[in-house]
Amino acid sequence: MPKAFSSIIKIAKYTFTDEVRQRSFIVMFVICVTLVFLMRGCYHGNYTVNGQDLDAGAIVGSVSRATFHVIAVGVMLLTALFSMRVFRRDRDEGTQSSIFSKPITRWQYVIGKVLGLWVLSAFFMFILHAIIFLTVSITLKVVMPGYLIASLLCSFDLLFVVIAVLFFSLMMPDIAAFLCIMGIGIISFVADGIFAISHSPMAQAMMQQQGSQQDWTAWRVVYYLWPKLSGTQHFASSFIGSEGFSGFVYIYPLINILIYGLIFSALLFWRFRNEDII
Amino acid sequence: MIELNSVTKQYGSLAAVDNVSFSVKAGEYFALLGPNGAGKTTIVKMLLDFTQPTAGSLSVNGLPSTNVSSRTAVGYLAENYHISPHLSGWQYLQRCAELLDISRSEAADQCRRIVELVGMQGREHTKTSTYSKGMIQRFGLGAALIGNPKLLILDEPTSGLDPIGIREIRQLLESLKNQGMTIFLNSHLLSEVEKICDNAAIIDRGRLLVKDKISTLVKDGDTLEDVFVKFVKG
């Protein structure tokens, strides 16, 4: 294995193990697993829509998709919380000065940190999704292999969150970095919501009546250009149930988030290169 | 081994290091002396590429300090050393060895030898959160010795140690010097420096005041402390 790659893997491994040993991580993990176990009750309810009882298949599909989104958003928040303090802790505990006094470059360190945090958060989310997958498979005898594929695809959102939070945490207090990524996430979800509403027949009719096309155009720009955290999640969830892969147009959110990931990576490397090691 | 050419480090309008030039030869035991805020730690940080100079150049092991290979075979002990509290001293040393690509068996051998060398036998498997400042300093010095470095850069190595600890560390550094290791030391403990160093430089407010052999600096019944005060107070 080339030396550069081996150093990255080691730093990623230390990041993973150091984070897992944190008491706050263990507490969060236990709480999340407990909450996900409690969600299994949602599959056994009777649901009525417009006076008609939903059949078991529809319930499984809808509830699984809902739990998928809840878990993905929850883990995204936790990932931001874990990532925001990583550089500060490494500085305070002397890890950075210990690493950089050895022949290890800054980009190796940064990639190792990103990789460690990404693997950790993706693993965290995969376990929670796997609990739902197993619950549905065992108790309801419905196997949804797409659920786990969706979880893996959704981990690209987590990669973006890790990179962006690490970058923000170099420029502002940790909590501000967390709030920044929260803001990006909220705007992404709101923009997607507004875009969906603007495409509903009712909204189309209203727009034609009032001639308010311009109001939606601004949101349309935000919808296409803003980091598509929500869009990637929806793209991933399209693999759950019978929907399956719906064509390359639907990949746009994933491409968008990967491009933003690259942009923030470049900013992160540039910023960290000029950072003084204390 | 170490060379500084007209190095300046500016923080806004403040010159932490101002046009400093000196060199340290292989096998030398060199002390960089100066009052608090003189720029000693800034020089160390520039040597390790922790921060970049505003002007001038530094080289370590014949390579520019910005070249990552210049830090091959360099051991470093920071002032106010810290170790992740969830690790034991042993795990910490193992990590340092792993980062230097030392094989597992060789790392275990080196760690065992170093634990003995820094006098921490019996405490190496307890978490560092239970260690005193002096114990952390000893493990920090141990970590700097992993990989048998040729150059040791020590920033206040005896900080937090009791008189017995200071003496033990001094004896250890003397034995390392006798093995041919180059030692670059930042210290306030002038009596210790006087006992063990070959050469010293005194800096104040970022400027190099003097660099010479200790035997040349200290004469006529003076102590290094007298010389230091004379230069710093002007």
CATH code, domain with B10: 3.40.50.300
Same domain, B143 and B154: no
The amino acid that residue B130 corresponds to is T
Q: Which residues in chain B touch residue A277, judged by CB atoms under 8 angstroms apart?
A: 45, 48, 50-51
Contact call for A277 and B45, based on CB within 8 A: yes
Give residue A128's pLDDT: 94
Please check whether residue A233 touches B, CB under 8 A. no
Q: What is the pLDDT of residue A1?
A: 60
Mutate: best of A102, A108, A274, A275, partner B, most B CBs <10 A = A102
Q: Is the dihedral of CA A35, A40, A43, A45 positive or negative?
A: negative
| Interchain pair B50, A102: CB under 8 A | no
- Say which residue, A248 or B229, is predicted with more confidence: B229
Task: Check residue A59 and give its pLDDT.
Answer: 78
Q: Highest-confidence range of A141-150, A172-181, B182-191, by mean pLDDT?
A: A172-181
B46 in a structural domain: yes
Domain-located, residue B12: yes
Q: Which residue has the higher pLDDT, A12 or A64?
A: A12
Interface A–B counts its CB contacts (< 8 A) at 58
Same domain as B89, residue B61: no
**B173 in the same domain as B63:** yes
What count of Cα atoms within 13 Å lies in the side-chain half-sphere of residue B38?
22
pLDDT tens digit sequence for A20-55:
988 889 999 999 999 988 887 777 777 777 777 777
Taking the C-alpha atoms of residue B147 and residue B217, their distance in angstroms, rounded to an integer, is 34
Residues of chain A with Cβ-Cβ distance to B69 below 8 Å are 103
Query: What does the pLDDT read at residue B99?
Result: 92
Search chain A and give the residue with CA nearest B84. A93
Distance from CA of A215 to the nearest CA of B (A): 47
Looking at the structure of chain B, the number of domains it has is 2
Print the domain residue range for B35: 2-73+150-233
**pLDDT average, residue stretch A205-220:** 67
Q: Closest to B82 (Cβ–Cβ): which among A7, A22, A92?
A: A92
Look over chain A and give the mean of its residue pLDDT values, rounded to a whole number. 87
pLDDT under 50 in chain B at which residues? none
Residue A244 confidence (pLDDT) above 90:
no
**CB-based contact, A148 to chain B, within 8 Å:** no
Q: What pLDDT, on a 0 to 100 scale, did the predictor assign at position B44? A: 94
Question: B82, A10: Cβ pair inside 8 Å?
Answer: no
The predicted pLDDT at position A183 comes to 94
Look at B76 and A97 and tell me if their CB atoms are within 8 Å: yes
Cβ pair A100:B98 closer than 8 A: no
Within-domain flag for B78: no
Chain B residues inside the 8 Å CB shell of A10: 98-99
In a domain, B223, yes or no: yes
Domain boundary among B118, B148, B178: B148
For residue B76, the chain A residue with the least C-alpha distance is A101
Q: Do A95 and B72 touch (CB under 8 A)?
A: no
- Other Cβ atoms less than 10 A from the Cβ of B151: the count is 23
Given A14, A95, A100, which is nearest B48 (Cβ)?
A: A100
DSSP states of chain B: -EEEEEEEEEETTEEEEEEEEEEE-TT-EEEEE--TTSSHHHHHHHHTTSS--SEEEEEETTEETTSGGGGTTEEEE-TT----TTSBHHHHHHHHHHHTT--HHHHHHHHHHHHHHTT-TTTTTSBGGG--HHHHHHHHHHHHHTT--SEEEEESTTTT--HHHHHHHHHHHHHHHHTT-EEEEE-S-HHHHHHH-SEEEEEETTEEEEEEEHHHHS-TT--HHHHHHHHHH-
pLDDT of residue A42: 76
Across the interface, do A276 and B50 touch by the CB < 8 Å criterion? yes
On whether any CB of chain B is under 8 Å from the CB of A213, the answer is no
Average pLDDT over residues A1-7: 80
Note whether A95 contacts B: Cβ–Cβ < 8 A. Answer: yes
The answer to whether B151 faces chain A, any CB pair under 8 Å, is no
My answer on whether B184 and B90 are in the same domain is: no
Paired residues of B58 in beta bridges: B4
Those residues whose C-beta lies under 8 Å from the C-beta of residue B186, and which sit 6 or more positions away, are B31, B32, B40, B41, B44, B79, B154, B155, B156
Residues B155 and B66 in one domain: yes
Over range A149-164, report the average pLDDT. Answer: 95
Whether B75 sits inside 8 A of A100 (CB atoms) is: no
Examine the domain organization and report whether B98 and B138 are in the same domain: yes
Residues B201 and B218 both lie in one domain:
yes
Same domain, yes or no: B166 and B221: yes
B12 in contact with A, Cβ within 8 Å: no
C-alpha distance from residue B164 to each of A164, B66, B128, B158, B168 (Å): 49, 38, 21, 11, 6
Residue with tokens 């890790």: A162
**The one-letter amino acid at A181:** I
Chain A hits for B85, Cβ within 8 Å:
93
The residue in chain B having the minimum alpha-carbon distance to the alpha carbon of residue A8 is B99
pLDDT at res. A248: 59
Burial of A268 (0-12, 13-18, 19+ CB in 10 A): buried
pLDDT of B179 reads: 85
Other CB atoms within 10 A of residue A150 CB: 25
Domain boundary among B125, B148, B171: B148
B:166-185 residues touching chain A, CB 8 A cutoff: none
What is the value of pTM for the model shown?
A: 0.90
* Mean local confidence (pLDDT), A167-175: 94
Chain A residues with CB under 8 Å of B72 CB are: 103
Q: Which of A87, A117, A124, A103 shows the shortest CA–CA distance to A6?
A: A103
The pLDDT score that the predictor gives to residue A247 is: 60
Range with the lowest mean pLDDT among A113-117, A165-169, A199-203, A268-272?
A: A199-203
Contact B76 A99 (CB under 8 A): no
Tell me: do B156 and B228 sit in the same domain. Answer: yes
Is pLDDT at A214 greater than 60 in this prediction? no
Strand B151-155 relative to strand B63-64: parallel, antiparallel, unpaired?
Answer: unpaired
Q: Could you tell me if B25 and B53 lie in one domain?
A: yes
Which pLDDT score, from 0 to 100, does residue A144 have?
84
For A166-187, what is the mean pLDDT?
94
- Tell if the CB–CB gap between B75 and A95 is shorter than 8 Å: no
Phi/psi at A121 (5° precision): -70, -35
Based on the fold, state whether residues B40 and B58 are members of the same structural domain: yes
B199 in Cβ contact with B214 (< 8 Å): yes
